[in-house]
Each structure stands twice: as structure tokens, then as C-alpha cells.
Amino acid sequence: MLEDRLIWQPVGIHQSSCDFGILLDRKFSEEMLSLKINEITKKKMNDSASNLLPKDFNPNLHFFKNTGFVAKFNLGYDGRTLEIEGINGKSPLEVFSEGMIKYSSHNVTTTIEAYGLMTLVDFWIEYSELLRDLSEKA
């Protein structure tokens, strides 16, 4: 169960800039990569995410291939993202062969942008049970 473990953790939030990182649980990552998500489900997730943030954001969850795993969170303007670097089509589990999966933010200039990206991560985690229900095993 999700409630029984720490799924994600922000790191590096006490910097002079507003950029930060996220460490994601490997077991959760494996679970999400095993789910097959269709375009309708992706669209519903993205539409729901849009309702979480102020209107000047246009968020987008970029799912890895057709799985339930989000490889990139985007606020919708000027490259404000939280993403896994170095994927280039490879599974995040390949890129990070051991330990947690690391996301890094880019171009985050305000605390509201950092909060927006963390909100998107939390939204994905909270709705992962629904993704399981709406998907087929990959």
C-alpha cells in the first residue's frame, strides 16, 4: 500500500535558486512502468492537473511511452520542468540502475513554480491507484 511507505521526497530545496530535485521510490517506479496507459487516460490526468494550479500555468504530465510513469512534469511555459535527465528513450530503471529515481527541475525561478511542480508530483502519486484501475499490465 502507498500509505505504508515514503514514495517521493524533495531534495535541494534550500538553495539560492528555486530549482530542486525529487527522489522517487524504485518500487513505485516499477509499478508505474508496468501499467499500460491509453491516450484518453493521459488526457484526463492532464485535464485534472490543470485544475490544480493557477490559471497562468498550463501543466502537462509527460508519461514514459504508454506507461503510468511520468518522466516529466511541465508547467507549460518557458521550460519550467521537473524531469529525469538522460532517459533518451531508455527506461528510468536503466538510467538509475540502483536506488531511487532522481528528477531535476529546470528554469524554476519562483517558489510558486516549485510548489506547482511538487503539486503535480503529489497529484500523480495520489491518483496512481486510479491509474492502476484504468490500465492494463504492459
Kindly give the confidence (pLDDT) of every residue in the chain, 138 residues in length, as a single tens digit, with 9 standing for 90 and above.
555 678 999 998 777 789 999 999 999 999 999 999 999 999 999 999 999 999 889 999 999 999 999 999 999 988 999 999 989 999 999 999 999 999 999 999 999 999 999 999 999 999 999 999 988 754
> Which residues does residue 72 pair with via DSSP β-bridges, in sequence order?
62, 83
Distance CA 23, CA 102 (A): 5
pLDDT at 12: 87
Q: Are 28 and 128 in contact (CB under 8 A)?
A: yes
Q: Are 104 and 82 in contact (CB under 8 A)?
A: yes
Q: CA torsion, points 3, 131, 112, 75, in degrees to nearest 10?
A: 160
SS3 (DSSP) at 8:
strand
